Amino acid sequence: MARIYISIGSNIDAARNVRRAVAALRADFGPLALSPVYESEAVGFAGDNFLNLVAGADTARPVAEVAARLHAMEDAQGRDRSGPRFSSRVIDLDLLLYDDLVLESPGLVLPREEILHNAFVLRPLADLAPDLVHPVAGRTMAELWADFDQSSQRLWPVAIDLGQGAQ
């Protein structure tokens, strides 16, 4: 079994769409470990605030299948891929880590670069798995978060009921 970490984000009807995504992930991957939910300002474009969290799960599926399942879940929730790269999202499900796999293939890079560059990814990942070692940086998520310029990207925790087993 591989341990996977998935970033979940939305800024369109965000609470509803995050709940739907968590339910879809549970239905497909089983029990999830969930970080706290954070609200943050849009990064890279002017838009409504995002809700973000990270989910952890175990899977026997190969990495390409996991990535394809996440893509299909986004499509099922109405993700529109026709707009600019940095734009509002109904839902965004990104595979951050698949065990300690380091991979560069068309459409899939692991570990996902956003871990090191975006507070809305690193903070919930550090909350969920503080002792997890980044397979390239060689440092724990807690260490990476402690050294992150936390004034560069504002985010704050919000209370969202995500159903069973939510944290």
Residue 78 falls inside a structural domain: yes
Residue 29 falls inside a structural domain: yes
165: left (phi over 0), alpha (psi -120 to 50) or beta: left
Task: Look at residue 166 in the predicted model and tell me its pLDDT.
Answer: 41
Residue 133 falls inside a structural domain: yes
What pTM, to 2 d.p., does this model score?
A: 0.93
Query: Which structural domain range is residue 83 located in?
Result: 2-156
Q: Which tens digits make up the pLDDT trace of 103-125? A: 999 889 999 999 999 999 999 99
Evaluate if residue 30 carries a pLDDT over 50: yes
Residue 162 falls inside a structural domain: no
Task: Look at residue 45 in the predicted model and tell me its pLDDT.
Answer: 65
Selected residue with higher pLDDT from 83 and 150:
150
27: Cβ contacts below 8 Å, ≥ 6 apart: none
Q: What total of structural domains would you count in the chain?
A: 1
Residue 163 falls inside a structural domain: no
Task: Look at residue 77 in the predicted model and tell me its pLDDT.
Answer: 86
Residue 165 falls inside a structural domain: no
Q: How much of the chain, in percent, has pLDDT values that exceed 70?
A: 91
Scored b (16 or more CB within 10 A) or e, 131-167 reads ebebeeeeebbebbbeebeeeebebeebebebeeeee
Residue 166 falls inside a structural domain: no
Evaluate if residue 159 carries a pLDDT over 80: yes
Residue 143 falls inside a structural domain: yes
Domain CATH number, residue 93: 3.30.70.560
Q: Which tens digits make up the pLDDT trace of 59-88? A: 999 999 999 999 999 988 876 666 666 667
